[in-house]
């Protein structure tokens, strides 16, 4: 084989490897990425504005819950939701998680005290 042929095969092989590596439906460490198409959408949370007037913690929790549900309904993957949760921890001092028992989203402060349930 001539040098040019080897070089061409190496370039094509490398390109195919990167195409395979960065496909949308492939996880880097094996297996398929999670299927988000069948994820149920959740209605946006509603709250009485009078409940938020004097309580800054409840206001931050409501904003965090709205942001998390918007990301959930936009079919963001779990990694993006975790990144959003990290930002919410830093900025608003709350975390949003989903209960395993009933599937509802809950907002807790950093001490683990429940603030809101959707």
Mean pLDDT by 10 residues, the chain (118 residues): 83 83 61 64 80 82 91 89 92 91 90 88
Cα dist. 9→21, 22, 39, 79, 83 in Å?
18, 20, 42, 36, 39
Token pair for residue 111? 């001490």
Residue 29 pairs in a beta bridge with: none
Token pair for residue 4? 């040019």
Cα dist. 106→5, 8, 25 in Å?
60, 55, 30
Per-residue model confidence (pLDDT) at position 24: 58
Per-residue model confidence (pLDDT) at position 18: 79
Per-residue model confidence (pLDDT) at position 86: 92
- The arrangement of strands across the sheet holding 105-109 comes to 94-98, 105-109, 114-117
Per-residue model confidence (pLDDT) at position 52: 76
Per-residue model confidence (pLDDT) at position 51: 74
Q: For strand 105-109 and strand 114-117, is the pairing parallel, antiparallel, or unpaired? A: antiparallel
User: Which phi and psi (to 5°) does residue 41 adopt?
Assistant: -80, 150
Cα dist. 110→10, 16, 86, 94 in Å?
52, 46, 11, 6
């Amino acid at each position: 084989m001539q040098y040019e042929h080897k070089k061409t095969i190496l370039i094509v092989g490398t390109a195919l490897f990167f195409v395979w590596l960065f496909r949308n439906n492939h996880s880097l460490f094996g297996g398929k990425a999670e299927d988000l198409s069948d994820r149920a959408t959740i209605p946006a949370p509603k709250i009485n504005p009078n409940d938020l007037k004097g309580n800054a913690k409840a206001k931050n929790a409501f904003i965090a819950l709205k942001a998390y549900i918007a990301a959930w309904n936009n079919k963001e993957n779990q990694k993006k939701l975790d990144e959003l949760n990290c930002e919410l921890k830093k900025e608003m001092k709350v975390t949003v998680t989903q209960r395993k028992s009933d599937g509802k989203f809950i907002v807790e402060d950093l001490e683990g005290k429940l603030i809101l349930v959707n």
